[in-house]
Amino acid sequence: MASTQVNLYEAKTQLSSLVERAAKGEEIVIAKGGKPMARLISIQEEPKKPRKPGQNLLGITYIADDFDASLPEDVLKDFGL
């Protein structure tokens, strides 16, 4: 879409409608004294990658062989068990 330049005062008074226009893909350039100062554009969301079965968010798939083994007596005692 085309780029539109608006002055700072207009941007302040019409911010809501300018944000809506930017969200639809229009680029809004905000100028002060005719000099471009900022650009208002839409945020492009990155598509989420599907999780692979068996992986956590860090990609760790290793589980120790003794993962479900009984805890040592001193650890059980610390937990009041």
Structure confidence by residue, pLDDT tens digits, 6-59: 999 999 999 999 999 999 999 999 999 999 999 999 988 778 877 667 667 777
Tokens of 43: 């945020």
Identify whether the C-beta of residue 7 lies closer than 8 Å to the C-beta of residue 29: no
Residue 12 lies in a domain: yes
What is the number of structural domains in the chain?
A: 1
Residue 59 lies in a domain: no
Residue 62 lies in a domain: no
- pLDDT value at residue 54: 66
Residue 33 lies in a domain: yes
Where in the sequence is the domain holding 17, given as residue range(s)? Answer: 3-40
- pLDDT value at residue 59: 73
Residue 48 lies in a domain: no
CATH number at 18 reads 3.40.1620
1, pLDDT greater than 70: no
- pLDDT value at residue 61: 74
- pLDDT value at residue 37: 96
Q: Which residues of 21-38 are buried (b: 16+ CB within 10 A; e: fewer)?
A: bbeeebebebeeeeeeee
